[in-house]
Amino acid sequence: MIFFISQFLQIMFPSFKSESYREYRSSVDQTELLNSVIQFHPFTHCIEILTNNPSPPKLELSKPKQFFHVLLDMKALKDQELVDDLFSPSTHFVSLSPISNGNGMFVQKSTITFVLNDATYKRFGLSGKKVGGHHLIIISADKKNDLQKIRPCQPIEGLLFSENPEIYQPFLKKYEAADFLVDDWKESQNLDFDVHLLEKPTEATSENASEPPLEHSMELPNDWLKDFMKAIDKSLLNRSNVIIYSDVKRITIEGIMNLADFKDWICSIGENGWVLLQVWDMKDIPGSFVGKKKGMQGCGGGCDIVLFGKNLSRAHRIQTIEFVDEE
Which of 147-156, 205-214, 222-231 comes out lowest in average pLDDT? 205-214
Question: What separation, in Å, do the N-terminal and C-terminal C-alpha atoms of the chain show?
Answer: 23
Q: What is the percent of the chain where pLDDT is above 70?
A: 74
pLDDT at 16 over 50: no
Q: Which amino acid is at 281?
A: D
Neighbours of 27 (CB within 10 A): 17
Which of 1-10, 14-23, 138-147, 194-203 comes out lowest in average pLDDT? 1-10
Which of 53-67, 199-213, 219-233 comes out lowest in average pLDDT? 199-213
Residues 82-114 pLDDT 10s: 999 999 988 888 777 665 566 688 887 788 888
For 111-131, what is the mean pLDDT?
A: 85
Which one has a higher pLDDT value, 316 or 217? Answer: 316
pLDDT at 1 over 80: no
Name the average pLDDT for the chain: 78
- Distance between CA atoms of residues 284 and 158, nearest Å: 12
Q: For the chain, give the secondary structure using H, E and C.
A: CHHHHHHHHHHHCCCEEEEEEEEEEEECCHHHHHHHHHHHCCCEEEEEEEECCCCCCCCCCCCCCCCEEEEECHHHHHCHHHHHHHCCCCCEEEECCCHHHCCEEEEECCEEEEEECHHHHHHHCCCCEEECCEEEEEEEHHHHHHHHHCCCCCCEEEEEECCCHHHHHHHEEEEEECCCEEEEEEEECCCCCCHHHHHCCCCCCCCCCCCCCCHHHCCCCCCHHHHHHHHHHHHHHCCCCCCCCCCEEEEEEEEEECHHHHHHHHHHHHHHCEEEEEEECCCCCCCCEECCECCECCEEEEEEEEEEECCCCCEEEEEEEEEEEEC
Which one has a higher pLDDT value, 173 or 16? Answer: 173
pLDDT band at 207 (very low <50, low <70, confident <90, very high): very low
The whole-model pTM stands at 0.67
Q: Which amino acid is at 113?
A: T
pLDDT at 212: 45
pLDDT at 272: 93
- Distance between CA atoms of residues 65 and 91, nearest Å: 11
For 119-125, what is the mean pLDDT?
A: 87
For 205-209, what is the mean pLDDT?
A: 39
Residues 33-77 pLDDT 10s: 999 888 877 677 789 999 999 999 999 876 556 778 889 998 899
pLDDT at 10 over 50: no
Edge-first strand listing for the sheet containing 104-108: 129-131, 134-140, 111-116, 104-108, 92-95, 156-161, 68-72, 172-177
pLDDT at 327: 42
CB contact at 8 A, 100 and 9: no
